[in-house]
Amino acid sequence: MDPVAAKELARYLGAGIACIGMGAAGVGVGNIFAHYLAAAVRNPSAADGQFPRLIFGFAVTEALAIFSLLIALLLLFAV
């Protein structure tokens, strides 16, 4: 295999693998909201106290998606 073609293939494979984090973030956000809603239905009085933790979990999970997108773009265009 041509070394230049191998480098291009490695860049595309690395970027694709880095994008797995974006899918994992989507699953994580779904789980966070699903568990929050299940807990709020069981104990509505405690739902207001858990809302800041819900927002923090959402922000951390979305940060994972942004970081994985950044890594994928760096692998495609900067390496």
C-alpha gyration radius of the chain: 19
pLDDT value, residue 73: 92
Segment 5-23 shows an average pLDDT of: 88
pLDDT value, residue 1: 78
Segment 12-20 shows an average pLDDT of: 89
φ, ψ at 43 (rounded to 5°):
-140, 85
Structural domain of 69: 3-77
Domain count of the fold of the chain? 1
Per-residue pLDDT tens for 30-74?
A: 899 999 999 999 999 988 898 998 899 888 888 888 998 999 999
Q: Is the pLDDT of residue 79 over 80?
A: no
**Can you give the CATH number for the domain in which 30 is found?**
1.20.20.10
